[in-house]
Structure 1
């Protein structure tokens, strides 16, 4: 299991798997907009957020981010609809407050809770939002990444479960950074875990040493993006919709739910 591996080169190699792993996932999708959305989330959006002081996201961006999350994982249209109904001013104000909490207090619990005040935004979506603006402090809660961390127990889309996952990932990022790995942030750790698992799922070849070197370059570019300020240039059954609302409802109003991503998210 990659998570238990302490060799920095193994993690660099895993990160190098991401482009091909993502291509394999995209090939299974009818809607190819996922390719542009992933480019935006992984590369363009973090630069936009880094240019804002104070940091915030707007209505159009949260709608786009949720579209990326749902297309990359399990599609849940009820969540997209709820998020789209929010006023731009509310999205800006809530996200600004959440980003300020993580920046000034490094209080992940409080930041995720604040972001989850928006209807349709649970810990997983909140983590995606905060990760885009603070990848050095917040990992995104993707099912595949969660399943790659041992001893977490059955997955539950709750704040407590997310914090358990995030704590392990943040600690791993700290250790890998000390060891000189390009996988030197919580976001890059969960990205490497995702790529490693999807490579197995799609039976893709493992990278050569030269591909691992590419991962190092990619990691350095991502690190620069995290620290550099730039100038911002009804087809679903009722039961499924009910589950959509339950999973990503605001943290304060949601009951814990235990499933595995391999069966039912």
Structure 2
């Protein structure tokens, strides 16, 4: 469970929120340094800059005429995999999409969202892409609007379950609850959903929650998954939900990336 000293979404003050938000760069940098990067691979810090700065500036304006392509989706998915749980087959599925279908589908989803303010409808359109479940779809939509929250484990754990949970199913129903709670907090404090997302990350990661070790502590020993957290009972990944947990054979260690 989240430490008692950690403010709840209902009780967190503007000052507490802003202090946690200001801590995000240092928190992320520590995790990025700990993870490192393979030769030719982008660091988590550089991917994070793309997700929270470059992508929002490129796609986040209603006046923008830049269409998101497969390369952009690939970079965002890479950020998602390194920022949260690594899922070894997700990228292969994403890259199997036809580039023109990706561009058309994202444009259709964004138009639907902007015309009707219908987040759920937009996510349903995006999940027509291979490898894109509700969580990844929320990321693609979130970079088009800073008031849309990405379905991150930390955000769901803090806003919806009062602590880390191994039973997130990454369903549209769960996202609808997350989105509603994020908007309520954002409206109360006068902040953006993208800020709520980062504050949740700081509050839980600094406590070593949501499946990640504290940045200043080494991962725990086997049996563990790539995050260092002891593995819950296996469950099969749903073929209809690419964001669901992918089972890992206990006889092999999953390489960190």
Give the 3-state SS of the residue equivalent to 2:159 in structure 1. coil
Distance 1:171 1:56 in 2: 30
What does residue 209 of structure 1 align with? Answer: none
- Alignment partner of 1:197 is 2:191: no
**Corresponding position of 2:184:** 171
Q: 1:22 to 1:245 in 2, by over 3 A?
A: farther
Give the structure-1-normalised TM-score.
0.72
State which drifts further: 32-41 or 43-52: 43-52
Query: Size of the alignment, in residue pairs?
Result: 209
Unpaired runs of 5+ residues, structure 1, are 178-183, 205-239, 250-255, 258-265
Q: Distance in 1 between matches of 2:238 and 2:73?
A: 17
What's the TM-score once normalised by structure 2's chain length?
0.74
Using the TM superposition, name which of 151-160 and 78-87 deviates more: 151-160
Q: Do the aligned partners of residues 50 and 165 (structure 1) sit closer, same or farther apart at CA in structure 2, a change above 3 Å counting?
A: closer
Q: Out of 110, 124, 133, which is 1:113 matched to?
A: 124
**1:75 maps onto 2:75 in alignment:** no
The aligned runs of 1:42-121 (5 Å cut-off) are 42-50=52-60, 53-54=64-65, 56-121=67-132
Question: CA RMSD for the aligned pairs?
Answer: 2.5
Unaligned runs of 5+ in 2: 1-6, 209-213, 217-233, 246-257
1:248 — aligned with what? Answer: 242
Aligned to 2:252: none
Give the secondary-structure state (helix, strand or coil) at the position aligned to 2:132. Answer: coil
Query: Taking structure 1 as reference, are residues 19 and 92 closer, same or farther at Cα in structure 2, changes over 3 Å only?
Result: same
Q: Partners of 1:71 and 1:244 in 2: how far apart?
A: 21
Tell me the CA shift for residue 161 of structure 1.
0.9
Tell me, yes or no, if the aligned pair for 2:160 and 2:178 is still in contact at 8 Å. no
CA deviations 1:34-77 (Å, max 9, x no partner) are 12111111111111114664563101000111111001111112
CA contact (8 A) 1:55 1:96 kept: no
1:145 aligns with: 155
Deviations for 1:216-256, whole angstroms, at most 9, x for unmatched residues?
Answer: xxxxxxxxxxxxxxxxxxxxxxxx9963856426xxxxxx8
Q: Distance in 1 between matches of 2:83 and 2:14?
A: 27
The reply to whether residue 22 of structure 1 matches residue 28 of structure 2 is: yes
Contact 1:2 1:193 in 2 (8 A): no
Q: Would you say the 8 A contact 2:10–2:185 is kept in 1?
A: no
* Mapped contact 2:170–2:241 kept (Cα < 8 A): yes
**Equivalents in 2 of 1:116, 1:133: separation in Å?**
16
